[in-house]
Structure 1
């Protein structure tokens, strides 16, 4: 996972996405305004909850799991909003549909890359298990095997995952298309697009943080300028600045080779153990060896268990996006109502159209 540090490149300077979308004086009925306010207040609360309590909580697998769960909740919130809007698919502008379908494909590609990286890290756990088994004794042959397994681990985690090329490309496209299509004569359309913008912004930020944690690269961290007209803009900016600048970029500038904390703990224990396997077996103090192998066993198990749980959360998000996409396509084929499709899908397990 170790990568040369890339210079920080400012991301695209996004302006007001509604500059071309909402005409001045656009009217929202009290009902639509209430729906929009409820959605945005809920979104602001979810963004606030994503702010880590302390610096030690940033980029732990537990925080990443919470972030992925939060994305699932946000996408479900949009599902509920669409159902409340009662906006038939036949009234959806082609541009809205194209935006949604394209965005959903990109999110699926990103999820596939994350699942692939989690699987690759879990495969590396086999090397660590071999290391620990070969330290049960203290023979020269066992030391040689342990050294070989440590080398195997280091090479494995340093290996570039080719799926991240697709992941980075998908995030670039999502970022470039944050400006929303122009809405004419549709108050419900304005509410829908405003909500979808919020979902996309938070999804893009979380995905870019995940990509940095997994790849060890900060070059694709997004810096999104959200218009102040959104009630959740300040909360989003604070979260983005804290995680991206205060934590991730400062970690890389300090020379840390990995960003994911559980992986860094394993890497530290591997380095300590590797330093002593260079010596002859009979020269290594048994108590020292026992302590180092115990530390590695604990950190390796913590990483493995955390990855197992995160894999389930990523798969859940993948299924939500996939099922929501299928629901929309199904309604387009039969000319049904988008909110009806949302309700049918919800009864099958919660995914949404967004």
Structure 2
């Protein structure tokens, strides 16, 4: 199994220098520092403290919660920045495509969770039929888990398109013709950090669900970005997680999701016991408990993934609404009120 070494290209070199920060107004500098401080903390909190957390369903829940909060912060930041329309004329399609691709992957991950939940339902049914044909049901579970969700085949292409959207910024910076306002520079800088965090976590989810590390990214940070506050935490995150995932696949592991791996081990033992005509209660009870807990945790992953999907669209709409309002101001006209794509229920 291989992992993709992807260079996290720098959209605008000038955005990442301390000298450039000195040119920002106190308000913009405060907004930038607060956002990047929170981004750093959120990434650092995702660094597993123990090998058993790589990759646990609890970590997956935490990762989706973290992404949801980060995109919620983008929505707030966009409203505070009031970026001039001219700043995003060349980037408009790429930025909005980026939001759409994120939502597409959220939907794909949710679909895979439903696939795994179907497997849990088979196990729960098997527990109720231990004295009859549970062996056949356990075989069906194994066949179901080995089968792949068809949508998985498209994940790599979507992730690649997210990488391409980062490369777009690199090509613009090479031209060196575009002049950005201070507000535009702040927005593009924070969007880049968020994209790096999101892309990496999505690649971990891809590896976890697909059973392959071929789309697991190792994002190389350019030297001119090394002083950004979140970079060190991010490098620690991927340097902690990637080797463990790679080693799991190299050793022929069933899955990198620890909770699911434990269930799979228990099912093997149960199937052997059923074939031998004895079903020890000491084997069944902990396995049944593990399956119930796994179902509950997968539901939380699904819930947080749906939250992220909604928040991604909310952040996109906030940016569009801000540009719409700014455009009206610059033209000196009154434009009709925008209709938002979704209603977001704030997380308590």
Q: Which residue of 2 aligns with 1:105?
A: 100
Q: Give the alignment's TM-score, normalised by structure 2.
A: 0.85
Residue 313 in 1 paired to residue 304 in 2? Answer: yes
Q: Give the alignment's TM-score, normalised by structure 1.
A: 0.84
Supply the distance in 2 between the matched residues of 1:272 and 1:162 (Cα, whole angstroms): 29
Change (3 A) 1:20 1:177: farther
Q: How does 1:86-125 map to 2 (within 5 A)?
A: 86-88=82-84, 90-125=85-120
Deviations 1:295-346 (A, max 9, x none): 3211211111111111111111111112333444556667458xxx99x999
Supply the distance in 2 between the matched residues of 1:186 and 1:261 (Cα, whole angstroms): 47
Residue 65 in 1 paired to residue 56 in 2? Answer: no
Residue 34 in 1 paired to residue 30 in 2? Answer: yes
Change (3 A) 1:105 1:345: closer
Gapped regions of structure 1 (runs ≥ 5) = 1-5
Contact 2:313 / 2:341 at 8 angstroms: preserved in 1?
no
Deviations 1:121-143 (A, max 9, x none): 111122112211111x3xxxx1x
Q: How much does 1:166 deviate?
A: 2.4
Supply the distance in 2 between the matched residues of 1:265 and 1:159 (Cα, whole angstroms): 19
Name the stretch that deviates more: 94-103 or 25-34: 25-34
Among 126, 134, 149, the residue aligned to 1:161: 149
Change (3 A) 1:350 1:191: farther
Among 259, 262, 265, the residue aligned to 2:262: 265
**Matched pairs, number:** 326
Change (3 A) 1:238 1:23: closer
Deviations 1:169-194 (A, max 9, x none): 11111123324244414221111100
Contact 1:109 / 1:167 at 8 angstroms: preserved in 2?
no
Q: Tell me the secondary structure at the aligned position of residue 280 of structure 2.
A: helix
Among 110, 113, 129, the residue aligned to 2:124: 129
Q: How much does 1:33 deviate?
A: 2.2
Change (3 A) 1:202 1:295: same
Name the stretch that deviates more: 300-309 or 324-333: 324-333
Q: Which residue of 2 aligns with 1:172?
A: 160
Q: Which residue of 1 aligns with 2:226?
A: 228
